[in-house]
Amino acid sequence: MTTLKKGDKAPEFWGIDQDGKVHELTNYKGKKLVVFFYPKANTPGCTAEACDLRDNFERFQANNYELLGVSADDKQKQSKFKEKFHLPFPLIADEDKEVIEAFGIWGPKKFMGREYDGIHRTTFVIDENGIIEEVIEKVKTKEHAAQILK
C-alpha cells in the first residue's frame, strides 16, 4: 500500500494528540520513533496492538524508542482509548488524515466482501536522523512489539 520503504526519509509531519499537544518529526530527532497507524480506537485488533506495545513500553524506552499511535479518531475517542487501557504513549487524532496520507496508508480495503477506503494497519520505525529503518505492513496485533524489537 505505502510507497515509503526502508532507507527513505520519513515525511515531515505534525499532528495533535489526545491532549492537544503537537507532535512533529523534528521533536524526535536523536531518538528512534515508532509510528504505528491503526484503523479505529477501541476495536479488538487495535486494542490488542496498543496493549502489546504498552506491555513492552519499558523495553522500547530502554532501546531509545519513542512510540506514537495514529488514527483518524477524534481527540475525545483517542483520550478515552488511552485512559481505558493506560497507554503510556501519545495518540494522534488525525481527523483530517494529513499524517495518514503523508505516510501513504489510506486507501481501498475489503472487509466481509465490502470495499471501502480506510487506514491500512502499518508501522514505521524511524531512526534518530529521520530515516525509515523498517516498514511493517503485516502487523501481528498480539505480537507487534516482538516484530519491532527483534
Is residue 51 flagged as an active site residue?
no
Residues in CB range of 67: below 8 A, 6 or more apart: 33, 34, 36, 53, 57, 60, 89
Do the beta carbons of residue 102 and residue 88 sit within 8 Å?
A: no
CA-nearest of 59, 58, 41 to 50 is: 41
Our CA angle for 115, 136, 57, nearest 5°, is: 115
Catalytic residue among 46, 53, 67, 100: 46
Catalytic amino acids?
46
